[in-house]
Amino acid sequence: MTPDGDTAYEHEIPQFGLGVFLMSDNGECKSAVLNAFEAGYTHIDTARAYNNEHEVGEAVRESGVERESVFITTKLRRAHAVGYDETIEHCRKSLKLLDMDYIDLYLVHAPPENPEHRAPVWQAMEYCLEQGMVKSIGVSNYGPAHLEAMKGYAKYMPSVNQVEFNPWLQRPALKQATEAAGAKIMAYSPLARGHKVTDPKLEKIANELDCTPAQVAIKFCYDEGCITIPKSSRPERIIENIASLDVDISSHYEEIKALECNYVSGWDPTTEP
């Protein structure tokens, strides 16, 4: 979407996917992606920083799924977000590692550390979009001020802002700023990196809903309208997590909302200058 609200480069993003962060053992990511396709996932979220783009590409080819029927997100590493040419060069490198003709969604992993790099990096993302190297572009870990600044230099606004979001970190102001910028929240760490799956309050809700605690957390993010990308390397959890989409949590919505405690499980660059 342009800053004026006009639509450009429409590309539908599946609202549920598999995150592949911390899958660094040889073959771990490939096997998880193969299991995910088997379980019905159509969206994989990787990044250069995860060092497993090549395994995502191998899994797509080995699975036999049509390239067009799966959606691959990857990200420009923060350390590489230092200029226009560097951004294009690293997009090409990701295409090479994935061994694909295009990336479905390419994200700036976090606001470039040097504020002066933010405009040229985004303009290079727009170049990648216009060249067809990527089908959609977005940001990750951008706060309201970073999004607001984009209006001054962006030809196309980001389609998503990937940030930590879960029942314990619901970020109403950031969600509102993201949506006002025309983007969707892509919820990373929907299980707070696994730190909260044994939360007794969550367990009680899950028991009453006859589902698992992880399913409650995942479905909450999904029902809040977020693109939701839980990570698991275990085949049974990969199945459990996608099965959350069939769980009706509406009767316990207020109780889940009340789990909010501003808990950041990972990092949070959204408030950086």
Catalytic residues: 50
Return the residue nearest ligand NAP (CB atom): 19
User: Least distance in Å: CB of 255 to ligand NAP?
Assistant: 19
User: Least distance in Å: CB of 75 to ligand NAP?
Assistant: 6
Residue 52 or 95 having the CB closest to ligand NAP: 52
| Helix orientation angle between 84-98 and 53-63, rounded to the nearest 10 degrees | 40
Residue 64 or 265 having the CB closest to ligand NAP: 265
Query: How many Cβ atoms are within 10 Å of 256's Cβ, its own excluded?
Result: 22
Residue 8 or 167 having the CB closest to ligand NAP: 167
E strands, the chain, in order: 18-19, 43-45, 71-76, 105-108, 137-140, 160-164, 184-188, 227-228
The CA–CA distances, whole Å, from 85 to 123, 124, 193 equal 10, 7, 34
Residue entry with tokens 């990308």: 229
245 vs 46: CA distance, rounded Å: 22
181 with 160: CB under 8 angstroms?
A: no
User: Least distance in Å: CB of 7 to ligand NAP?
Assistant: 25
89 with 76: CB under 8 angstroms?
A: no
* Residues facing residue 71 across a β-bridge: 43
Residues that bind ligand NAP (CB under 6 A): 19-21, 45, 109, 140-141, 162, 188-194, 197, 214, 229-234, 237, 240-241, 266
Provide the H-helix boundaries in 210-266. 213-223, 235-243, 253-257
8 with 156: CB under 8 angstroms?
A: yes
User: Least distance in Å: CB of 189 to ligand NAP?
Assistant: 4
76 vs 122: CA distance, rounded Å: 11
User: Least distance in Å: CB of 261 to ligand NAP?
Assistant: 16
106 vs 162: CA distance, rounded Å: 11
Q: Which residues contact 124 (CB under 8 A, 6 or more apart)?
A: 83, 84, 85, 86, 87, 88, 91
Residue 2 or 54 having the CB closest to ligand NAP: 54
User: Least distance in Å: CB of 192 to ligand NAP?
Assistant: 6
Residue 128 or 140 having the CB closest to ligand NAP: 140
Residue 58 or 164 having the CB closest to ligand NAP: 164
